[in-house]
């Protein structure tokens, strides 16, 4: 049995780092585990200009602990009225690595999101020309579509037409949660990739209702049936180069989670690699982990892989019960639990 792995240092291709005191606390968990991260732009207000992206990147860098070598990769939040030149300039100036499509009202801070994907066609045309990836939150938001069907409906109603209209556009289907999405990406063209979170590989929708409402298992897209979780586990361990690591770590203060109308999001940055390794180990696929964590992502984005390596070993580690942030705290995924794998 493998007890130790040495792999190229991984990156996180989807993370929410927030701002202010929350940022100061959470960024160092991500920087400890990953060399680079694609930083989501859903602040309030969202990051929609080159200037805002550059300033946010500086705020992130200024609070990363000195000994950690970490590079935030910024994204632009697409709105109905986005100026394509802002995207072009942001990419040319090395500020924006990608742009994010949130359907309006899909999730946390997405009120400014896109109401009809046709509204951003001028921006997508520019991105296709540049080879700049489009990152999609793949859920439709009409109230008549069941919450558990939103991802599958998105494929039919939005993604397929979009891919037809922009056949050369690089698209990342973010945090996929269904067998429908897993199969669609697996069989799709090389321009289509997907991120998979650690938590969607670990639990299904029962976890949200185990003996009562469990707000810390509530995130968007919401966890689905067991057959979907199994499909995700199959594709990430299949060796396909189209799937890569994206934690969707999304911290919220405990009061915003444990509430009558609690926020969506799991804070998994303190145990992300541990959680992924649990899955790959259980699937007998540790030999497939390096490609998923460290190679497929940069290859898709057209970026170099990291040059450093890290050691992962089977030595128990306890995940904290709570992470203090100012006068409150955030409850991490696997809070208070012992996990088998750790960073060496």
Residues classed as catalytic:
248
Q: Looking at beta carbons only, is 68 or 264 nearer to ligand NCD? A: 264
Cross-strand partners of 36: 71
Given Zn ion, ligand NCD, none, residue 229, with its beta carbon under 5 to 8 Å by kind, binds none
Please, where are the H alpha helices in 160-225? 160-165, 179-187, 198-202
Given Zn ion, ligand NCD, none, residue 228, with its beta carbon under 5 to 8 Å by kind, binds none
Residues 306 and 164: their CA atoms lie apart, in Å, by: 33
**Stretch of residues binding Zn ion (CB under 5 A), selected from 44-52, 192-200, 244-252, 301-309:** 244-252
From residue 53, alpha-carbon distances to 6, 42, 60 in Å are 34, 11, 11
Q: Looking at beta carbons only, is 107 or 306 nearer to ligand NCD? A: 107
Closest separation in Å from C-beta 212 to Zn ion: 26
Closest separation in Å from C-beta 129 to ligand NCD: 27
Closest separation in Å from C-beta 338 to ligand NCD: 26
Closest separation in Å from C-beta 55 to Zn ion: 21
If phi > 0 it is left, if psi is from -120 to 50 it is alpha, else beta; for residue 109 that is: left
Given Zn ion, ligand NCD, none, residue 220, with its beta carbon under 5 to 8 Å by kind, binds ligand NCD
Is 86 a binding residue for Zn ion by CB under 5 A? The answer is no
Q: Looking at beta carbons only, is 72 or 128 nearer to ligand NCD? A: 72
Closest separation in Å from C-beta 14 to Zn ion: 6
What SS3 class is residue 86? helix
Is 12 a binding residue for Zn ion by CB under 5 A? The answer is no
**Stretch of residues binding Zn ion (CB under 5 A), selected from 57-65, 77-85, 177-185, 247-255:** 247-255
Closest alpha carbon to 47 in 92, 116, 97: 97
Based on its alpha-carbon atoms, the radius of gyration of the chain, rounded to whole angstroms, reads 19
The token duo for 207 is: 């976890």
What SS3 class is residue 88? helix
Q: Looking at beta carbons only, is 188 or 262 nearer to ligand NCD? A: 262
Residues 110 and 140: their CA atoms lie apart, in Å, by: 13
Q: Which residues bind ligand NCD (CB under 6 A)?
A: 16, 42, 107-108, 137, 219-220, 248, 250, 264-265
Given ligand NCD, Zn ion, none, residue 79, with its beta carbon under 5 to 8 Å by kind, binds none
Q: Looking at beta carbons only, is 53 or 341 nearer to Zn ion? A: 53
Q: Chain-centre distance of CA 165, in angstroms? A: 25
Residues 283 and 196: their CA atoms lie apart, in Å, by: 16
Q: Looking at beta carbons only, is 128 or 247 nearer to Zn ion? A: 247
Given Zn ion, ligand NCD, none, residue 10, with its beta carbon under 5 to 8 Å by kind, binds none
Closest separation in Å from C-beta 313 to ligand NCD: 30
The residue with its CB nearest to Zn ion is: 248
Residues 311 and 304: their CA atoms lie apart, in Å, by: 20
Span between the terminal Cα atoms of the chain, in Å:
17
Burial 244-269 (b: 16+ CB within 10 A, else e): bbbbbbbbbbbebbeeeebbbbbbbb
Closest alpha carbon to 42 in 130, 119, 137, 158: 137
Closest separation in Å from C-beta 250 to Zn ion: 6
Bond from prior residue into 268 cis (ω within 30 degrees of 0): no
Q: Chain-centre distance of CA 29, in angstroms? A: 15
Is 248 a binding residue for Zn ion by CB under 5 A? The answer is yes
**Stretch of residues binding Zn ion (CB under 5 A), selected from 222-230, 233-241, 242-250, 327-335:** 242-250
How many chain residues touch Zn ion (CB under 5 A)? 1
What SS3 class is residue 201? helix
Q: Looking at beta carbons only, is 158 or 219 nearer to ligand NCD? A: 219
Q: Which residues bind Zn ion (CB under 5 A)?
A: 248
């Amino acid at each position: 049995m493998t007890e130790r792995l040495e792999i190229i240092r991984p990156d996180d291709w989807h993370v929410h780092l927030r701002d202010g005191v929350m940022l100061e606390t959470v960024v160092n968990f991500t920087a400890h585990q990953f060399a680079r991260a694609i930083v989501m732009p859903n602040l309030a207000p969202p990051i929609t200009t080159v200037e805002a992206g550059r300033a946010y990147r500086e705020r992130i860098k200024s609070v990363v602990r000195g000994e950690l070598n970490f590079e935030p990769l910024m994204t632009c939040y697409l709105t109905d009225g986005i100026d394509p030149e802002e995207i072009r300039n942001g990419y040319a100036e090395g500020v924006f690595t990608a742009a994010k499509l949130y359907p309006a009202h899909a999730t946390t801070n997405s009120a400014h999101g896109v109401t009809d994907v046709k509204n951003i066609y001028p921006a997508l045309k520019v991105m296709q020309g540049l080879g700049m990836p489009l990152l999609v939150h793949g859920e439709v938001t009409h109230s008549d579509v069941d919450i558990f069907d939103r991802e599958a409906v998105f494929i039919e109603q939005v993604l397929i037409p979009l891919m037809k209209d922009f056949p050369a556009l690089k698209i990342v289907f973010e945090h996929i949660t269904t067998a429908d999405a897993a199969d669609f990406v697996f069989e799709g063209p090389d321009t289509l990739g997907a991120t998979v979170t650690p938590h969607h590989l670990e639990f299904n929708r029962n976890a949200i209702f185990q003996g009562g409402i469990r707000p810390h298992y509530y995130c968007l897209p919401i966890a689905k049936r067991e057959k979907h979780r199994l499909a995700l586990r199959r594709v990430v361990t299949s060796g396909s180069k189209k799937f890569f690591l994206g934690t969707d770590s999304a911290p919220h203060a405990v009061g915003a989670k444990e509430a009558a109308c609690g926020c969506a999001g799991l804070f998994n940055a303190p145990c992300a690699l541990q959680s992924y390794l649990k899955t790959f180990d259980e699937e007998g696929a540790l030999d497939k982990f390096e490609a998923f964590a460290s190679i497929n992502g940069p290859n898709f984005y057209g970026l170099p892989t990291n040059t450093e390596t890290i050691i992962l070993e089977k030595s128990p580690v306890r995940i904290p019960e709570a992470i203090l942030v100012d006068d409150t705290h955030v409850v991490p995924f696997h809070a208070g639990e012992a996990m088998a794998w750790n960073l060496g």
